């Protein structure tokens, strides 16, 4: 009996319980955010399962479209049958599937009005009968090109609130990142981990497959003030600007007697930022001659990661200003980004300031 009692832990903090505890701090709250987040979590669980079975279920190859007019749960059920019972039929690519899952999850929550996805050229406007006060921007499967080699990939999301009751437009999401109310990512790797901030710190939850629940395993994550890792694609070095080149040179050959930094670069933003958040250091994706405006998308890559990094005590910088102060003009706008430990980002900010003064 004692062993059974040990197995049934009652002190575990699930993500649902955590959000409900946060909600209780605001008496005026009606639970809308909790419902929205629950649907995002459900989408993450489904994508995690699909990623784990991608090779077996042939989800990586091209597939024909299927028009499913059903509730979200029926949608999931039909897809599970399609994936795991129908081996001979064409299947959707995993990134397209993930996008479908999150669109369905967010619309069915009844709490969203505008959705912006990396997979869709245009924004999705929820029909009036299912609208709510939130706008969600997301990359349903960042790093999906790495699935074949088993590298960690993930979902990135950010949440805005609607400030009016009029017809929604893209202006409702073309706002600076400092107006986000929440942001997070879910990483699908050796374990499935969801990292979330609602503006009061950063917390990490790990999926327990036996319970089917995300459990709080990394409360109040704080990034080290300075790190010994830098993360950048050095294959683009010949196209970098002066400050980035100088900074990376300092990382490799420091002149102050300090040890050189270690280079770690996965090529999946979620994996690289997750490591940076836990261990410290800096993640760089600068502008260069080939991509003068940078490559990462502002709304659903730069903003959510910058939001998390600042909440954890770090910084995020574009080469010109604080990342969260950007005001995007297009939903798929791009930007350079430098984010990570406070002191490391401060160093590259100084290099850009010096160049501007010169």
List the domain boundaries for the chain: 15-218, 229-357
Mean local confidence (pLDDT), 18-23: 87
Mean local confidence (pLDDT), 270-278: 98
What's the confidence (pLDDT) of residue 358?
81
What's the confidence (pLDDT) of residue 252?
96
What's the confidence (pLDDT) of residue 79?
53
What's the confidence (pLDDT) of residue 58?
57
Mean local confidence (pLDDT), 248-265: 94
Over the chain, what is the mean pLDDT?
A: 88
Beta bridge partners of 159: 136, 182
Residue 275 is encoded by which pair of tokens? 């490591």
Residue 352, C-beta contacts closer than 8 angstroms, at least 6 positions apart: 243, 317, 319, 320
pLDDT digits (tens, 9 = 90+) for 48-77: 998 887 766 555 543 444 443 345 554 554
Mean local confidence (pLDDT), 266-276: 96
Residue 356 host element (H or E): helix 342-357
What's the confidence (pLDDT) of residue 70?
41
Q: Is the pLDDT of residue 166 over 70?
A: yes
Mean local confidence (pLDDT), 17-37: 85
Q: How far is CA 106 from CA 18, 22, 99, in A?
A: 20, 21, 11
Is residue 279 within 8 Å of residue 224, measured between CB atoms?
A: yes
Question: Which range has highest mean pLDDT (22-31, 147-156, 334-343)?
Answer: 334-343
pTM of model > 0.95: no
| pLDDT confidence band for 164 (50 / 70 / 90) | confident
What's the confidence (pLDDT) of residue 12?
85
Q: How far is CA 245 from CA 163, 172, 232, 261, 348, in A?
A: 42, 37, 11, 15, 10
What's the confidence (pLDDT) of residue 72?
56
Q: Is the pLDDT of residue 129 over 90?
A: yes
Contacts 24+ apart (CB under 8 A), 213-218: 213/12, 213/14, 213/15, 213/16, 214/14, 214/15, 214/41, 215/12, 215/13, 215/14, 215/15, 216/12, 216/13, 216/14, 216/15, 216/18, 217/193, 218/193, 218/278
Mean local confidence (pLDDT), 172-199: 96
Mean local confidence (pLDDT), 243-268: 95
**DSSP per residue, 10-54:** S---BHHHHHHHHHTT-TT--SHHHHHHHHHHHHHHHHHHHHHTH
CATH, domain 15-218, list 1.10.10.10, 2.40.10.220, 3.30.540.10, 3.40.50.300: 3.30.540.10
Domain 229-357 has CATH 3.40.190.80: yes
Is residue 174 within 8 Å of residue 160, measured between CB atoms?
A: no
């Amino acid at each position: 009996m004692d062993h059974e009692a040990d197995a049934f832990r009652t002190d575990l903090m699930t993500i649902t319980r955590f959000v409900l505890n946060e909600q209780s701090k605001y008496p005026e709250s009606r639970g809308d955010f909790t419902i929205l987040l629950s649907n995002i979590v459900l989408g993450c669980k489904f994508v995690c399962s699909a990623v784990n079975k991608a090779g077996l279920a042939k989800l990586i190859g091209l597939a024909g479209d299927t028009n499913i007019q059903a509730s979200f749960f029926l949608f999931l059920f039909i897809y599970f049958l399609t994936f795991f019972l129908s081996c001979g039929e064409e299947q959707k690519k995993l990134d397209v599937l993930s996008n479908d899952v999150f669109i369905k999850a967010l619309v069915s929550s009844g709490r969203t009005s505008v959705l912006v996805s990396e997979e869709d050229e245009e924004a999705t406007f929820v029909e009036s009968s299912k609208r709510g006060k939130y706008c969600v921007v997301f990359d349903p499967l960042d790093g999906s090109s790495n699935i074949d080699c088993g590298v960690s990939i993930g979902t990135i999301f950010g949440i805005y609130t609607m400030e009016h009751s009029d017809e929604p437009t893209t202006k409702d999401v073309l706002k600076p990142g400092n107006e986000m109310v929440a942001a997070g990512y879910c990483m699908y790797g050796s374990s499935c981990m969801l990292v979330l901030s609602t503006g009061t710190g950063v917390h990490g939850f790990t999926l327990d497959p036996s319970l089917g629940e995300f459990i709080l395993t990394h409360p109040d994550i704080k990034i080290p003030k300075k790190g010994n890792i830098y993360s950048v694609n050095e294959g683009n070095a010949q196209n970098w600007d002066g400050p980035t080149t100088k900074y990376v040179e300092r990382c490799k050959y420091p002149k102050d007697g300090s040890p050189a930094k270690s280079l770690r670069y996965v090529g999946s933003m979620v994996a690289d930022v997750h490591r940076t958040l836990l261990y410290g250091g800096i993640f760089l994706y600068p502008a260069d001659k080939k991509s003068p405006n940078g490559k990462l998308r502002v709304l659903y890559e730069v903003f959510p990661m910058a939001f998390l990094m600042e909440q954890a005590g770090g910084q995020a910088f574009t080469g010109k200003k604080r990342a969260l102060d950007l005001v995007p003009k297009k939903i798929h706008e791009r930007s350079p980004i430098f984010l990570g430990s406070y002191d490391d980002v401060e160093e590259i900010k100084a290099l850009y300031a010096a160049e501007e003064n010169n």
